[in-house]
């Protein structure tokens, strides 16, 4: 659930509230009863490192698929050699 920030227009106190997307915005300050204004704040979500992008996943999968296909080719060649 996201955290929303509200500022009271009377006492200027800022409140952080965890709410569902479907919840209605708060209207009254829990401290003084004044009108609340919903604030727009910065997100704290940051992506770092590798593995977060499609190209990173594709590179890892291709190398795994290549090594797996090489192993299966070697196995099938060995079984053919044994059978002859």
Q: How far apart are CA 75 and CA 39, in angstroms?
A: 63
Whether residue 82 lies inside any domain: the answer is no
Asked whether residue 61 is assigned to any structural domain, the reply reads no
Split into its structural domains, the chain has a count of 1
23 falls within a domain: yes
What residues make up the domain containing 14?
Answer: 3-39
Q: What is this structure's pTM? A: 0.50
Residue 56 lies in a domain: no
CB contact set of 15 (below 8 Å; sequence gap of 6+) = 5, 6, 7, 8, 26, 29, 30, 36
Predicted pLDDT at 18: 92
Query: 25 in a domain, yes or no?
Result: yes
In a domain, 33, yes or no: yes
Q: Are 7 and 31 in contact (CB under 8 A)?
A: no
Stretches where the chain sits below pLDDT 50 are none
In a domain, 75, yes or no: no
Q: Classify residue 26: in a domain, yes or no.
A: yes
């Amino acid at each position: 659930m996201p955290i929303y920030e509200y500022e009271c227009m009377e006492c200027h106190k800022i409140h952080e509230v965890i709410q569902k997307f479907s919840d209605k915005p708060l209207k009254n300050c829990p401290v003084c009863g004044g009108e609340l204004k919903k604030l727009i704040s910065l997100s704290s979500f940051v992506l770092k490192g590798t593995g977060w992008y499609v190209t990173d996943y594709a590179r890892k999968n291709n190398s795994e698929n290549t090594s797996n296909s090489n192993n299966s080719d070697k196995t099938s060649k060995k079984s053919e050699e044994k059978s002859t």
